[in-house]
């Protein structure tokens, strides 16, 4: 199984999330629900999208295996 946490790009994007939260801490209070929120949500979306893509790849492989098992079972019933 592929582990997205081992991907260099995922780890670098997690560092970006940390840096975003650190840098936005010093923003003025009135930016809490404005620019600050937008920057942090943007940063978080990057590793989220990477992990989601890896999950989709895994789902596709599982579906392929299920089809092969189903075909194999059908072949056993015919013989």
All residues at 6 or more sequence positions from 1 whose CB lies less than 8 Å from its CB, including other chains: 58
Contact 43, 16 (CB under 8 A): yes
Tokens of 59: 């789902």
The model carries a pTM of 0.67
pLDDT, tens only, 16-37: 999 999 999 999 999 888 999 9
Residue 79 has pLDDT above 70, yes or no: no
Q: Give residue for tokens 């199984």.
A: 1
């Amino acid at each position: 199984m592929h582990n997205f946490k081992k991907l260099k790009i995922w780890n670098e994007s997690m560092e970006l999330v940390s840096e975003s939260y650190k840098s936005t801490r010093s923003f003025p209070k009135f930016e809490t629900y404005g620019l600050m929120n937008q920057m942090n949500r943007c940063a978080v979306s990057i590793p989220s999208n990477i992990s989601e893509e890896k999950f989709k790849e895994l789902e596709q492989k599982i579906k392929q295996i299920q089809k092969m098992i189903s075909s194999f079972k059908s072949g056993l019933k015919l013989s």
